[in-house]
Structure 1
């Protein structure tokens, strides 16, 4: 008798959208999800911050066309959330506070809105009981002071603050006091077994680090790095860690965290550019994305192809700043 193949656990996806650039990025994300993963069965939740004391202006989605595209054409659910602790002063905190509005007890994957889906997310084998996050990162934090403490002392002080074991988080294949030895993620995607419980701990840790950090953080800058400082601690506290090879498709052939559209054209693989073209070809998508001038110029007026022609993907500059500078000289740097 043939055994039934175990199905992957259904999960929800969440991105944040608000007035300005993020609403168009969220629309592009949703369009790419529906184009490349028609079999996705979970909920696509677009979290929308609401007006309040922590916002100087109304942060909600301003484009009726974006709202209609998301809800009526792409099957997204726009879910409001309150900014209790972060808001305009630290908009990266949106990804922390939005999690409380996710369904209790249901697994989730969070993506930054500046992400393009290029394959079937639902085909990935994700172990939601072992949370992880993106490893497409650089050694941006901490900045080790001349007279110390070093990487180990800084990171251990954080684990100690929250009563977390530290040694098992180390990648011992990397040298001592080299940033890659320590658990550090890009917060462009992360997942867990339950949005509200993950969000509560993320919020607790982030606020404690911001408001009452250990002495070892005295010289450290937390803006904009606070979310990426707290995230490894949260993931470790839930029994998670670095993603395994089964998740290589994230930041691989299933998703692309493009960050700035000019950079997508300059440095991403041909398959990503082709995917972007396919996603944005339908008129219902194109007419909405054209509202946003950088998308209009780069995607639909072929400025992106001009940016791409400036670089040889096989011999890209080592530092991103060099790419930015060349794009700016050619008037092709557009967010």
Structure 2
């Protein structure tokens, strides 16, 4: 793992917290950050969407969860959904950037992430934004009548006045999805959340409302954020992460996504962190209210899922992992 540069500035971390599954994941994130990153000097800001015209049901977290998060050193900052809301909750990671202090470097993490090492040792270059490469070829989807990967992606770069050719990974063959700049939006960073969030929001809204003809047969729900993120990163001079960021999706963070998948495919260290930070009574009394955590962590079903797989020889596709868990009656979300 790359060690922190002496010139790396302090930075803030943002995750989204809202009612339901995400509030319990937020509690685990905060607990794992506190347990494993003692040298982190920034702020952990939990962006919380508020009830309003775009949220008909109350998206705010339970009071007990908020109290536990604050005790763990987190700050809960509300924001108003002006563009996405309940119709596209993935938009929270876009609009929630407004909760961060302008001009201060930030790292966004999806809430379903655990901090398994010292985040302060990661050598971020906040002048060159990047994002997670832990992804599959989920978008765009190959269709009978479509212009191909190049046609789809180039239409987006053209739409927003961006140069396209330098984003290509020429080590990958033409019309293979890995050739094109595509991220998982599970983490991303930049030097200024206000600047990044403004462009991310404007371009996401524009693509949602006025897509190019080349995207006529493509679904943007839930892929809108991941279609726009590469463009935003490229526009600010960023690109694919270098080896200095290997700790992310490595030995410093884990984007597990769902608890059954965590037990099926993640490292022993990730399982250890999950179960350790879920142990203290103040946290446990809240987490056990969420059925998947109750059954998988506290009642031991997670260990049974783990026994179904060889973590060094996993099925190639996530869908195959899910299907095996479901076939054995252990799937929960």
TM-score normalized with structure 1 length: 0.96
Contact 1:17-1:47 at 8 Å conserved across structures: yes
Q: How many residues align?
A: 329
1:56 aligns with 2:51: no
Q: How does 1:99-178 map to 2 (within 5 A)?
A: 99-178=97-176
How far is 1:186 from its partner? Answer: 0.2
**Residue aligned with 1:47, SS:** strand
For the aligned residue pairs, the C-alpha RMSD in angstroms reads 1.1
Partner Cα separation in structure 1 for residue 64 and residue 187 of structure 2:
27
Match of 1:76 among 60, 74, 77: 74
How far is 1:7 from its partner? Answer: 4.3
Q: How does 1:93-104 map to 2 (within 5 A)?
A: 93-104=91-102
Task: Give ranges in structure 2 of 5+ residues lacking alignment.
Answer: none
**Residue aligned with 2:9, SS:** coil
Contact 2:146-2:217 at 8 Å conserved across structures: no
Equivalent residue, structure 2, for 1:19: 19
Contact 1:101-1:196 at 8 Å conserved across structures: no
Match of 1:259 among 254, 257, 260: 257
1:81–1:150 Cα change, 3 Å: same
Contact 1:150-1:177 at 8 Å conserved across structures: yes
Q: How does 1:37-52 map to 2 (within 5 A)?
A: 37-52=37-52
How far is 1:314 from its partner? Answer: 2.3
1:10 aligns with 2:15: no
* Farther off after superposition, 273-282 or 250-259: 273-282
1:231 aligns with 2:220: no
Equivalent residue, structure 2, for 1:66: 65
**Residue aligned with 1:315, SS:** coil
Equivalent residue, structure 1, for 2:317: 319
Partner Cα separation in structure 2 for residue 200 and residue 227 of structure 1:
14
Task: Give ranges in structure 1 of 5+ residues lacking alignment.
Answer: none
How far is 1:324 from its partner? Answer: 1.4
